[in-house]
């Protein structure tokens, strides 16, 4: 098609303008892409800093305690310590300081595993039989000697005497663990040695903390050996000694069983608050050492009982308001 010279010039100018416009447009798009990329990179960097700060904050507030497990554990302890054995949901949640909906969910989960039992009629909760299988495993593996070892060593080191652990078996006390003092001359007895439960200081320490009916059953026996031989027993003095022992937490024997050998004993309790034995020292220490050594014996006995899960305030504390007074003997 024929075009005039002026038309051809106009077309040429138009093409150049379009080319320039297209170039500007591409440049703008490219810059826009670059700007967007930079923005994304800057945004990512900013978010990265935020994540780092968040992680740092999270690490600083980490306690290692799982709240639900902590609350479930406190519920079980609450039920175990409750005197009436059964508790309703409101009382449990108030004692543990959790919301009722949370407490209900935890109790329902514990029910599923048999760790908690729910009384459908009374709508109360108590510990379940599922705990028996767990506790049986612990009891089967319970090694008094290894558990008592550190406590006996501490006791022997601090009193320079032989420290012994006696376990109650019916009307007897058997020595199951001991730690001899690091001295050239000392007093000791063999593992497995059997004492009568009415024998000496450890007998007084045990009988003083027995339930009333068990205590009376023992004290009504004809032959008792708290003061050595049965013939030497002074029942009036024994009654006073038991009263003082239940207040102070320890009993003593000053050479009555064996001349020159003194004994200080304190009772031991398990996780159920049941009396199961006695911790005692045996040595040639002087009578003037009794206030000092009795304090040590009582404190170590309490630590040992706590290791076994005893609630000290409900065992020693319940009968023992006079622990601070170490000077008296019983």
pLDDT of residue 80: 87
Q: How many CA atoms lie within 13 A of 47 on its CB side?
A: 6
pLDDT of residue 44: 46
Cα separation, 143 vs 195, in Å, equals 21
pLDDT of residue 16: 46
Cα separation, 101 vs 107, in Å, equals 10
Which residues on neighbouring strands pair with residue 179, listed in sequence order? 163
- Average confidence score pLDDT of the chain: 79
Return the closest-CA partner of residue 90 out of 80, 138, 5, 78. Answer: 78
Q: How far is CA 122 from the centre of its chain?
A: 31
Query: Which pLDDT tens digit goes with each residue over 275-293?
Result: 999 999 999 999 999 999 9
What CATH superfamily is the domain 144-319?
Answer: GAF domain (3.30.450.40)
pLDDT of residue 61: 63
Length in residues, the chain: 330
pLDDT of residue 31: 43
3-state secondary structure (DSSP) of residue 211? coil
What is the sign, positive or negative, of the torsion defined by CA atoms of 285, 291, 297, 303? Answer: negative
What residues does CATH 1.10.10.10 cover in the chain? 67-134
Query: In the chain, which stretches have pLDDT less than 50?
Result: 1-7, 9-14, 16-49, 51-55, 57, 318-330
DSSP output for 78-111: HHHH-TTS-EEHHHHHHHHT--HHHHHHHHHHHH
Cα separation, 151 vs 305, in Å, equals 10
> Could you tell me which residues come within 8 angstroms of residue 287 by beta carbon, excluding any fewer than 6 positions away?
254, 262
> Could you tell me which residues come within 8 angstroms of residue 80 by beta carbon, excluding any fewer than 6 positions away?
127
pLDDT of residue 184: 65
Which residues on neighbouring strands pair with residue 7, listed in sequence order? none
What residues does CATH 3.30.450.40 cover in the chain? 144-319
* Backbone phi, psi, residue 143, to 5°: -115, 95
Query: Which pLDDT tens digit goes with each residue over 61-90?
Result: 667 889 999 999 999 999 988 887 899 999
CATH for 67-134, among 1.10.10.10, 3.30.565.10, 1.10.3720.10, 3.40.50.620? 1.10.10.10
């Amino acid at each position: 098609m024929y075009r005039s010279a002026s038309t051809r010039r106009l077309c040429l100018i138009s093409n150049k303008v379009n080319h320039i416009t297209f170039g500007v447009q591409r440049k703008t798009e490219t810059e826009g892409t670059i700007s967007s990329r930079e923005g994304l990179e800057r945004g990512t960097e900013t978010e990265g800093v935020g994540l780092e700060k968040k992680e740092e904050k999270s690490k600083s507030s980490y306690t290692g305690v799982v709240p639900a497990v902590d609350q479930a554990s406190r519920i079980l302890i609450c039920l175990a310590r409750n005197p009436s054995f059964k508790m309703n949901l409101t009382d449990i949640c108030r004692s543990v300081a959790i919301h009722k909906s949370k407490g209900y969910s935890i109790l329902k989960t514990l029910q599923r595993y048999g760790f908690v039992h729910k009384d459908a009629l009374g709508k109360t909760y108590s510990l379940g039989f599922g705990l028996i299988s767990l506790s049986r495993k612990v009891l089967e593996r319970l090694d008094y000697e290894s558990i008592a070892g550190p406590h006996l060593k501490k006791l022997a080191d601090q009193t320079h005497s032989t420290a012994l652990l006696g376990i109650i078996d019916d009307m007897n006390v058997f020595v199951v663990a001991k730690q001899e003092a690091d001295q050239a001359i000392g007093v000791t007895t063999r593992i497995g040695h059997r004492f009568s439960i009415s024998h000496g200081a450890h007998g007084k320490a045990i009988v003083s903390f027995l339930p009333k009916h068990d205590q009376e059953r023992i004290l009504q026996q004809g032959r008792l050996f708290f003061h050595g031989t049965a013939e030497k027993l002074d029942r009036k003095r024994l009654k006073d000694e038991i009263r003082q022992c239940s207040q102070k937490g320890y009993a003593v024997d000053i050479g009555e069983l064996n001349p020159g050998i003194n004994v200080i004993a304190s009772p031991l309790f398990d996780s159920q608050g049941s009396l199961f034995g006695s911790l005692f020292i045996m040595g040639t220490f002087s009578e003037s050492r009794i206030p000092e050594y009795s304090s040590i014996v009582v404190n170590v006995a309490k630590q040992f009982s706590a290791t076994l899960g005893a609630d000290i305030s409900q065992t020693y504390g319940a009968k023992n308001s006079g622990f601070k007074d170490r000077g008296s003997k019983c």
